[in-house]
Structure 1
Amino acid sequence: MRATWAILAGLVVGGGLAWWLGRDASPRQSPEARERAEQAAAAQAEDALRPLYRWRDAGGQLQITDNPPPKGTAYERLAREPAPGIQVDAGR
């Protein structure tokens, strides 16, 4: 009789353990919450990729801004992240 109870208890504990390990641990998100999270991630990625602009104003002062200079002003676009590796430019 004890062996039957031990087997039954083992099956219950084993079944509970199998359920616990096999369940999906990630929480379910509503479609609205998922969309908001995707929009926030896209905005953050866009902000990280925005270039900087280097230009000189009418007084000759060097300006580095995240907004483009006024029209007709010569400028150089700068990446926020440097290019990987070493670049050699003899013209500089």
Structure 2
Amino acid sequence: MKWFIGLLLITAALVAWLYVDRDARQRWLAGTPLAPAETTVYKWRDADGEWQISDKPPAAGIDYERLQYHHDSNAMPLAPTRDD
């Protein structure tokens, strides 16, 4: 019975650590069906100066920014603050 309680405590500690440490969680879950989903998009300005966003990079020679979104992250922007 003592070995079961010890195993339970070790498992609980591991789960708590993975819950708190996001980087460790991503390393442990990478390549498994439990890995958090991630989306990569590309952002650039076209010849008219308009912003373009796509899941594919633009043609060669066009500067672009690669953005990654994690589906388990909060996507809400921070509220504006007042400078007193």
Same fold (TM over 0.5): no
Richer in helix (by share): 1
For the aligned pair, the TM-score class normalised by the smaller chain equals 0.3 to 0.5
TM-score (norm 1): 0.35
Normalising to structure 2: TM-score of the pair?
A: 0.38
Which of the pair has more CA radius of gyration?
1
Q: Which structure has the highest strand share of the two? A: 2
Larger RCO (alpha carbons 8 Å, 6+ apart): 2
